[in-house]
């Protein structure tokens, strides 16, 4: 559906040699913008101090006053993995500081996202004096106003892009505020609340509160496992700050020093935590936490993260694993429906897709539409919005985008042109959500496609595979696979190393639900290498040569390690 382009990253050989004595690792790091060896340090001492974070001191002051004044604090979270880890972190730290604290995670299906006036009404039943939002609140103008009218103090901690009008909170901590000079603009929700709780611990220690109440000083490093999970799951760019947080959290997980709930999630997934990587947080832990918010109640996920021993955590982790399996089944059916719709559009337009897609089916599950939008985006390489019918008859949509198309800005442009077309909306460059009336679906489709066309301005959507070049037979080794795997935390904007070359297929067999197990040999090479292409059926076409984009992987089976290649892309050379 698009013409893929394979392009190799460039790097300065002189810089690469200074970054690492291993030539392969040096060129990988240099090609990702690292220019000095001291940039590779991922110790906590390199974290930027919060002094320039707008309203940071005010938020700490208000929370300290609430604790010492015996005022109840109610945390209002979000129903994704970032929200769950943020809620669990704030709740646990506040309890250790002697606060009276509870938490509330709005139901996706009943209340939707954020601190709404309806959620304030629910919150009031808990008789709080202070509302603390985590991973939400930056756009909750009416919700904050409702809370203030009820004589509540409101502290907003968030990371989402702010609207023009900010809520009138007592403190609003968000590094993406235009008036915030804190350098860590890519922090996610749990990263922001980690900073705030760290400041609160120091303030209460310095004031003598902890000593007067015979309370231990909470070790904030103990919460880095939660920070790592939320950061990776929210797919924020892994700049140096976030790589530090993720690296330190993953190290704790590998050492078995994580909280019982996370270790239990690894156990139910059948994955040894001692080999954990950032990838595992995104593909093992995150989806199981997210399944609670997608299908049920995210309180299940928060309870798992707050469990204080493995015996309590395991039953909850098994429940989350069951929810995730159900989510996969629902997703499979919805994805098949979506692919039928895409094929129908292809048939209508003589095999050519528009630059953006809007998909809808009345019986789709609104908790899974974001995943389906992401799958179709990956398949068709264009912005996609998927809608489902909500209980109130409106349509709830989730969008995913590609490089070069800022999807939240697309929605803002649509609203600027027609303020009546969208209800609630918000999001990031690559992901967004919106609510529309069902009668406006076709109008939204036309506006969405038209605005994407305008942004692209005739530029074709072309999937680009950026690689780290070719490897010879000796470089394709188990030792290099292990070195690369743990060199740095890999993720968004700091991608796992991939390579490309021309190969012959020596053998292929189909396994599972449409996966290909391959034996490849590099053209001109002298040995065969096992490989796997997930979600792709490859036919052995004889002596044809294939251009392959791949990653080095350590395959573990029955306590034996071996090299395998993970195939990202294959095309005939």
Q: What is the pLDDT of residues 19-51, one digit of tens each?
A: 999 999 999 999 999 999 999 999 999 999 999
Give the mean model confidence (pLDDT) for residues 312-332. Answer: 97
Instruction: State the pairing for strand pair 130-134/73-76.
Output: parallel
493: left (phi over 0), alpha (psi -120 to 50) or beta: left
| Per-residue pLDDT at 110 exceeds 90 | no
How high is the pLDDT of residue 311? 97
SS (H, E, C) 91-151: HHHHHHCCCCEEEECCCCCCCCCCCCHHHHHHHHCCCCCEEEEECCCCCCHHHHHHHHHCC
Please indicate, yes or no, whether residues 223 and 252 belong to a single structural domain of this protein: yes
| Per-residue pLDDT at 109 exceeds 90 | no
Give the mean model confidence (pLDDT) for residues 535-548. Answer: 86
Task: Using alpha carbons only, give the angle 400, 460, 434 rounded to the nearest 5 degrees.
Answer: 20
Please indicate, yes or no, whether residues 475 and 565 belong to a single structural domain of this protein: yes
Give the mean model confidence (pLDDT) for residues 141-153. Answer: 97
Query: Residue 64 domain-assigned?
Result: yes
Q: Based on C-alpha coordinates, what's the Rg of the chain?
A: 24
Please indicate, yes or no, whether residues 105 and 138 belong to a single structural domain of this protein: yes
Please indicate, yes or no, whether residues 446 and 477 belong to a single structural domain of this protein: no
Please indicate, yes or no, whether residues 141 and 212 belong to a single structural domain of this protein: yes
Residue 440 lies in domain: 353-456
Residue 154 sits in a domain of what CATH number? 3.90.1640.30
Please indicate, yes or no, whether residues 291 and 404 belong to a single structural domain of this protein: no
**Where does the pLDDT of residue 1 fall: very low under 50, low under 70, confident under 90, or very high at 90 and above?**
very low
| Domain end (from 322, 342, 362) | 322
Give the mean model confidence (pLDDT) for residues 482-500. Answer: 96
How high is the pLDDT of residue 535? 86
Query: Residue 334 domain-assigned?
Result: no
- Here the tokens at position 482 are 């292990």
256: left (phi over 0), alpha (psi -120 to 50) or beta: left
Percentage of residues in the chain having pLDDT higher than 70:
99
Please indicate, yes or no, whether residues 312 and 361 belong to a single structural domain of this protein: no
Choose among 35, 45, 31, 38: nearest CA to 15: 35
SS (H, E, C) 157-213: ECCCCCCCCCCCCCEEECCCCCCCCCCCCCCCHHHHHHHHHHHHHHHHHHCCHHHHC
Who's near 94: CB < 8 A, 6+ residues apart?
Answer: 63, 67, 73, 75, 101, 197
Which neighbouring-strand residues pair with 60?
A: none
Query: Residue 407 domain-assigned?
Result: yes
Mean pLDDT of the chain: 95
**Where does the pLDDT of residue 95 fall: very low under 50, low under 70, confident under 90, or very high at 90 and above?**
very high
Distance, in Å, from the CA atom of 305 to the CA atom of 84, rounded to the nearest integer, reads 8
Dihedral sign, Cα of residue 312, residue 95, residue 249, residue 139: positive
Query: Residue 1 domain-assigned?
Result: no
SS (H, E, C) 454-474: HHHCCCCCCCEEEECCCCCCC
Instruction: State the pairing for strand pair 130-134/153-157.
Output: parallel
| Domain end (from 399, 423, 456) | 456
Please indicate, yes or no, whether residues 310 and 400 belong to a single structural domain of this protein: no
| Domain end (from 281, 300, 322) | 322
- Helix ranges (H only) for 207-309 are 209-212, 224-233, 240-254, 260-268, 278-280, 286-295, 299-306
Query: Residue 7 domain-assigned?
Result: no
Query: Residue 546 has what DSSP assignment?
Result: E
Residue 74: φ, ψ to 5°: -115, 125
Give the mean model confidence (pLDDT) for residues 402-418. Answer: 94
Domains in the chain: how many in total?
3
Please indicate, yes or no, whether residues 132 and 280 belong to a single structural domain of this protein: yes
**Where does the pLDDT of residue 540 fall: very low under 50, low under 70, confident under 90, or very high at 90 and above?**
confident
How high is the pLDDT of residue 495? 96
Which neighbouring-strand residues pair with 328?
A: none
- Here the tokens at position 474 are 């000796």
Distance, in Å, from the CA atom of 432 to the CA atom of 160, rounded to the nearest integer, reads 11
Give the mean model confidence (pLDDT) for residues 80-108. Answer: 96
Distance, in Å, from the CA atom of 315 to the CA atom of 305, rounded to the nearest integer, reads 12
How high is the pLDDT of residue 3? 65
Order of all β-strands in the sheet with 357-360: 357-360, 384-389, 395-400, 431-436, 425-427
Query: Residue 18 domain-assigned?
Result: no
Residue 403 sits in a domain of what CATH number? 3.10.310.30
Query: Residue 69 has what DSSP assignment?
Result: T
**Quick count: other Cβ atoms within 10 Å of Cβ 524?**
9
Please indicate, yes or no, whether residues 217 and 120 belong to a single structural domain of this protein: yes
Please indicate, yes or no, whether residues 295 and 439 belong to a single structural domain of this protein: no
Distance, in Å, from the CA atom of 286 to the CA atom of 267, rounded to the nearest integer, reads 14
Distance, in Å, from the CA atom of 300 to the CA atom of 293, rounded to the nearest integer, reads 9
Distance, in Å, from the CA atom of 220 to the CA atom of 223, rounded to the nearest integer, reads 5
Distance, in Å, from the CA atom of 188 to the CA atom of 175, rounded to the nearest integer, reads 9
Query: Residue 9 domain-assigned?
Result: no
Tell me the whole-structure pTM to 2 decimals.
Answer: 0.93
Please indicate, yes or no, whether residues 141 and 237 belong to a single structural domain of this protein: yes
Query: Residue 335 domain-assigned?
Result: no
Choose among 146, 109, 107: nearest CA to 124: 146
**Quick count: other Cβ atoms within 10 Å of Cβ 177?**
19
**Using an 8 Å Cβ cutoff, are 250 and 283 in contact?**
no
Lowest mean pLDDT, pick from 71-75, 184-188, 348-352: 348-352
- Helix ranges (H only) for 465-525 are 478-485
More confident residue, 363 or 557: 363
């Amino acid at each position: 559906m698009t013409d893929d382009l394979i392009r190799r990253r460039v790097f300065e050989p002189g810089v690469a040699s200074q970054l690492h004595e291993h030539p392969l690792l040096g060129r990988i790091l240099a090609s990702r913008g690292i220019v000095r060896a001291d940039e590779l340090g991922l110790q906590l001492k390199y974290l930027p101090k919060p002094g320039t974070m707008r309203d940071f001191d005010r938020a700490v002051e208000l929370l300290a006053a609430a604790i010492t004044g015996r005022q109840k604090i109610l945390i209002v979270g979000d129903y994704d993995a970032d929200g769950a880890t943020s809620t669990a972190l704030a709740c646990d730290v506040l309890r250790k500081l002697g606060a009276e604290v509870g938490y509330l995670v709005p139901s996706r299906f009943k209340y939707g996202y954020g601190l709404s006036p309806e959620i304030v009404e629910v919150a009031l039943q808990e008789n709080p004096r202070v509302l603390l939002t985590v991973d939400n609140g930056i756009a909750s103008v009416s919700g904050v106003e409702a809370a203030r009218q009820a004589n509540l103090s409101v502290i907003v901690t968030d990371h989402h892009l702010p609207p023009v009008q900010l809520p009138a909170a007592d403190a609003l901590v968000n590094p993406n505020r235009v008036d915030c000079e804190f350098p860590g603009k890519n922090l996610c929700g749990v990263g922001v609340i980690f900073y705030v709780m760290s400041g609160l611990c120091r303030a209460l220690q310095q004031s003598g509160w902890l000593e007067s109440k015979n309370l231990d000083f909470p070790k904030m490093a103990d919460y880095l496992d939660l920070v790592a999970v939320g950061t990776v799951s929210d797919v924020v760019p892994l700049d140096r700050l976030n790589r530090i947080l993720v690296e330190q959290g993953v190290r704790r997980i590998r050492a078995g020093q994580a909280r019982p709930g996370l270790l239990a999630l690894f156990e139910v997934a059948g994955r040894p935590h001692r080999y954990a990587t950032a990838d595992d947080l995104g593909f093992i832990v995150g989806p199981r936490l997210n399944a609670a918010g997608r299908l049920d109640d995210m309180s299940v996920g928060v309870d798992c993260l707050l469990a204080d021993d493995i015996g309590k955590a395991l039953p909850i982790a098994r429940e989350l694993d069951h929810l995730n399996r159900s989510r996969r089944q629902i997703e499979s059916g919805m994805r098949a429906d979506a692919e039928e719709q895409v094929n129908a559009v292809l048939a209508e337009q003589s095999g050519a897709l528009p630059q953006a897609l809007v998909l809808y089916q009345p019986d789709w599950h609104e908790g899974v539409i974001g995943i389906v939008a992401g799958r179709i985006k990956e398949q068709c390489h264009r912005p996609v919005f998927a809608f489902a019918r909500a209980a109130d008859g409106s349509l709830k949509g989730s969008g995913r985008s590609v490089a070069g198309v800022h999807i939240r800005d697309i929605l803002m442009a649509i609203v600027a042109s027609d303020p009546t077309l969208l209800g609630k909306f918000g999001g990031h460059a690559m992901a967004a959500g919106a609510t529309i009336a069902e009668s406006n679906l076709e109008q939204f489709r036309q506006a969405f496609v038209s605005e994407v066309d305008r942004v692209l301005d005739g530029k074709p959507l072309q999937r680009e595979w950026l690689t780290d070049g070719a490897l010879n037979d000796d470089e394709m080794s188990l030792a290099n696979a292990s070195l690369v795997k743990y060199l740095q935390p890999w993720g968004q904007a700091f991608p796992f190393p991939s390579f490309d070359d021309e190969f012959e297929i020596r053998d292929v067999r189909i396994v599972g639900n449409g996966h290909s197990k391959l034996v490849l040999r590099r053209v001109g090479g002298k040995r065969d290498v096992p490989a796997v292409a997930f979600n792709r059926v490859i036919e052995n076409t004889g002596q044809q040569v294939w251009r392959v984009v791949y990653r080095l992987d350590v395959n573990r089976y029955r306590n034996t390690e071996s090299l395998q290649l993970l195939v990202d892309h294959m095309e005939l050379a």
